[in-house]
Amino acid sequence: MTLQGKVAVVTGGSRGIGRAVATVLAREGAVITLCARDRVLLEKVAAELESLGAQALAVQADVTRASEVEQMIGACVERFGQVDILVNNAGITRDNLLLRMKDEEWDAVLSVNLKGVFQCTRAVLRPMIKQRSGRIINLTSVVAVMGNPGQANYVAAKAGIIGLTKATAREVASRGITANAVAPGFIETDMTHALDPELQEQMRSQIPLGRFGRPEDVAELVAFLASDRAAYITGQVIHLNGGLWM
Ligand code: NAP
């Protein structure tokens, strides 16, 4: 186990990629704090982790609300004494063509997908700086570098995450903290199941490995970046997309 004694926070840990990340980090020995807005789902995942022998804390929190983020990180430090790993995974889509995009659709996506990452990162920096160690892993997307019609808000937020990750990495490297971004292609989750089946098929046909990724594919990469084996990697964007973008 590579993460024995580490304490991890996973935002959006109740479903999809976040749930798989929490499970793999727990398998590697980490203690997990999970947040999302739906308390019922969150507690179900925490119970699953505990049934695997891990310690888990479920905190209902909306990453767009700074006070809830501060409370969630506070609850983690109070319960487990530290925070070693932050996985900024919570994300939403509100797709529309630019010409038709409403202000609310733009604001909602930027608020969860970019401001949420900023707020969670700011909240963990004090304890991590005090510890002089930490791992921050941000979920961006292949579309941040490829663009995608109908997703200007999402693409802008995910491209923003790449810049935020690099700025974070430069600011805190001297304190023993690394910050990296993981950029998945199309992964089988609720987010992609919501896409039009024809569009899904069209996307699949462009993937050299011939399939969408699984949440576990992403989780294994996150677990590596969270471990001591990735100690010399910072400010990077690591792509995993079945060859969709090279
Ligand atoms: P998902 O299945 O839709 O799950 C999203 C998670 O985020 C849920 O746990 C959700 O829980 C939580 N969440 C949403 N808004 C939140 C908020 N305001 N505060 C706290 N939690 C919130 O999504 P996914 O496909 O696993 O995606 C996870 C991450 O990977 C996202 O950042 C996404 O952009 C990125 N990504 C996904 C793909 C893909 O193909 N699936 C590809 C590239 C990147 P609640 O709704 O209960 O809050």
Distance 151 CA to ligand 1 centre (A): 15
Distance in angstroms between the alpha carbons of the first and the last residue of the chain: 32
* DSSP states of 93-153: ---B-GGG--HHHHHHHHIIIIIHHHHHHHHHHHHHHHHT-EEEEEE--THHHH--TTBHH
Q: What gap in Å lies between CA 23 and CA 100, rounded to an integer?
A: 39
Phi/psi at 76 (5° precision): -65, -50
Give the residue among 130, 219, 129 at the shortest CA–CA distance from 182: 219
Q: Which residue has the tokens 């098929």?
A: 201
Q: Which residue puts its alpha carbon closest to atom 2 of ligand 1?
A: 16
Taking the complete model, does pTM exceed 0.95, yes or no? yes
What's the pLDDT score for residue 92? 98
Residue 18 Cβ < 6 Å to ligand 1: yes
Residue 164 Cβ < 6 Å to ligand 1: no
232 in catalytic set: no
| Residues 72 and 59: beta-carbon distance below 8 Å | yes
Residue 14 Cβ < 6 Å to ligand 1: yes
Structural tokens at position 223: 């677990």
C-alpha dihedral, 79 to 80 to 83 to 84, nearest 10°: -160
Rounded mean pLDDT for each run of 10 residues along the chain, 246 residues in total: 96 98 98 98 98 97 98 98 98 97 98 99 98 98 97 98 99 98 97 88 95 98 98 98 97
What's the pLDDT score for residue 230? 98
Residue 92 Cβ < 6 Å to ligand 1: yes
Q: Which residue puts its alpha carbon closest to atom 3 of ligand 1?
A: 191
Q: Which residue puts its alpha carbon closest to atom 21 of ligand 1?
A: 36
What's the pLDDT score for residue 165? 99
Beta-ladder partners of 237: 181
Structural tokens at position 133: 């160690």
Query: How far apart, in Å, are the Cα atoms of 149 and each of 50, 110, 242?
Result: 41, 17, 20
What's the pLDDT score for residue 1? 87
What's the pLDDT score for residue 19? 98
What's the pLDDT score for residue 127? 97
